[in-house]
Amino acid sequence: MENRKQTVCFRAVLFCLIAMFLWQPCKVTAKKQTPAAAHGRLAVKGADLVDAKGRKFQLRGVSTHGINWDVGYPYINKEAFQTLRDDWGANAVRLAMYTSEYNGYCSGGNQRELKNQIAKGVQYATELGMYVIIDWHILSDGNPNTHIKEAKQFFAEMSRTYRKQKNVIYEICNEPNGCDWKNIKSYANQVIKTIRKNDKKAIIVVGTPTWSQLGLDGTHNEVADSPIKGYRNIMYALHFYANEWSHNAYLPAKLTYARKKGLPVMVTEFGMSDASGNGRISTANTGKWLKRLDQANVSYFCWSLTNKNESSALLAPGSRKTGNWKQKDLSKAGRYIRKEYRRRR
């Protein structure tokens, strides 16, 4: 009887050792399967974003608020990005660096510190295997040519620094406004040329007229009708806010038209609120948009990762946590986006 117990015990120990041995490779493999590890360098194929194996791929990301003031930069930390990846199911982040507002890069801001914030954001995203957009966030400056000299210097430095990385995307003008596609196109051609001197393959996203709505007004489609020529891996920004009547009335048709024309579109910013970032949020319209974008394989980034007291903020006003958020730390918009992203991962 004693020998039998010893045999059973020996077999149990042996089984555990074998199980531990077999489990180790699985754990290592799982650790490697971050979004960037699984999909590699992204590219544009026709109207679609594809991964390194040529398969259609969709980015689902979150944008920071402006990293040049205290409602944005506290959330550039590894814990925050890891929470977005592991809990929310996001595979990308967007680093919004304003050029004019609030001591922006071109309006008296500390350029060295702003570039340091970018460097930290790219580092954390890279360590976590996430994709990351470096966003030249023009807004009140309107015409991107206003600061084209600074833009070319900035993107020359960024593209030299990150030329060997496969997860970095450049957004060269957030929301052009008060200018036409001809002006934006002239700017884009110069900045794209600057980037391509250093980085031949990275995705570059170009902002479009009227706060990135693919044209001057609801019926214009000049971007799809006259895209930039001579470069690969170029995409075009579309922004929408789900509680804006005009965005729901006109932009779906413009997106459909762009796709039919073969224009690769990325929604680098959307919100559930009014375009101001405030007002009522619309879960119904947001749900319709996300379904539409999923069906069209269009990537999207939600605005914004902040505790600012506005309805588009994903964190509850006054929340002090900068990562590892619980439900109580999230705003109504944050709880909805987290739920929808988790459902899609």
User: How far apart are alpha carbons 170 and 109 in whole angstroms?
Assistant: 21
User: How far apart are alpha carbons 171 and 179 in whole angstroms?
Assistant: 18
In order of 122, 160, 323, the CA distances from 64 in angstroms are: 13, 24, 13
User: How far apart are alpha carbons 216 and 312 in whole angstroms?
Assistant: 25
Identify whether the C-beta of residue 272 lies closer than 8 Å to the C-beta of residue 336. Answer: yes
Strand ranges (E), the chain = 43-45, 48-50, 60-64, 92-98, 131-137, 168-171, 204-206, 234-241, 265-271, 300-305
In order of 65, 92, 93, 192, 327, the CA distances from 130 in angstroms are: 18, 5, 7, 23, 23
- The alpha carbon of 254 is separated from its chain's Cα centroid by a whole number of angstroms, namely 21
Helix axes 148-161, 111-127, angle to 10 degrees: 40
Pick the closest to residue 240 from 175, 177, 295 (CA basis). 175
Pick the closest to residue 340 from 276, 275, 291 (CA basis). 291
Catalytic residues: 175, 269
Instruction: Give phi and psi for 257, each to the nearest 5.
Output: -60, -45
Identify whether the C-beta of residue 238 lies closer than 8 Å to the C-beta of residue 255. Answer: yes
